[in-house]
């Protein structure tokens, strides 16, 4: 069951990645390229982890690879929705905030509690400082963009 849920979640995740890439290119070529590189960099370990989870859930290596390729279709659909919405001036304003909000939600609700579980005070402090530094970098980039 965990494997099936992972496939659904990964497809939705890839959909938002596609949205982010398409919407960022509508904001400018430099923004689009930096978003594409950021998505690719975070997708490599993410897809490896998803592959391992599928294999541990009982899927064969071949079917796990095929299922991972099928979840990538979500990125193409998301990119299509993002490109279609970017052609309309008012509807494109929701795409980048929607995807950024989704990423922040995942970081704060899913990843952060996992990081804070069973750690020392200094490890927790370092992780919170890293999160704050990441937010600061986003604000800095937005200010100088």
pLDDT of 63 higher than 90: yes
Mean pLDDT of 80-95: 70
- Does residue 92 carry a pLDDT above 60? no
> Cα separation of 117 and 57, whole Å?
24
47 against 105, higher pLDDT = 47
Helices (H), the chain: 2-27, 29-56, 61-71, 73-86, 95-105, 112-116, 121-144
Give the residue from 12, 14, 6 showing the smallest Cα distance to 76: 14
The span from the CA of 101 to the CA of 17, in Å, is 12
Structure tokens at 31: 């923004």
Task: Give the mean pLDDT of 127-131.
Answer: 83
The confidence score (pLDDT) of residue 62 equals: 94
In the predicted model, is pLDDT for residue 37 greater than 60? Answer: yes
């Amino acid at each position: 069951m965990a494997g099936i849920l992972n496939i659904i979640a990964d497809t939705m995740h890839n959909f938002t990645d596609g949205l982010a890439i398409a919407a960022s290119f509508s904001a400018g070529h430099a923004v689009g390229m930096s978003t594409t590189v950021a998505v690719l960099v975070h997708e490599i370990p993410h897809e490896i982890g998803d592959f391992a989870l599928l294999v541990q859930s009982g899927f064969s290596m071949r079917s796990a690879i095929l299922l991972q390729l099928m979840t990538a279709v979500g990125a193409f659909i998301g990119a299509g929705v993002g490109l279609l919405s970017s052609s309309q001036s008012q509807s494109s304003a929701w795409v980048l905030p929607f995807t950024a909000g989704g990423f922040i939600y995942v970081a704060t609700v899913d990843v952060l509690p996992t990081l804070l579980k069973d750690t020392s005070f200094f490890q927790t402090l370092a992780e919170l400082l890293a999160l704050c530094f990441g937010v600061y970098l986003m604000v800095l980039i937005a200010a100088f963009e």
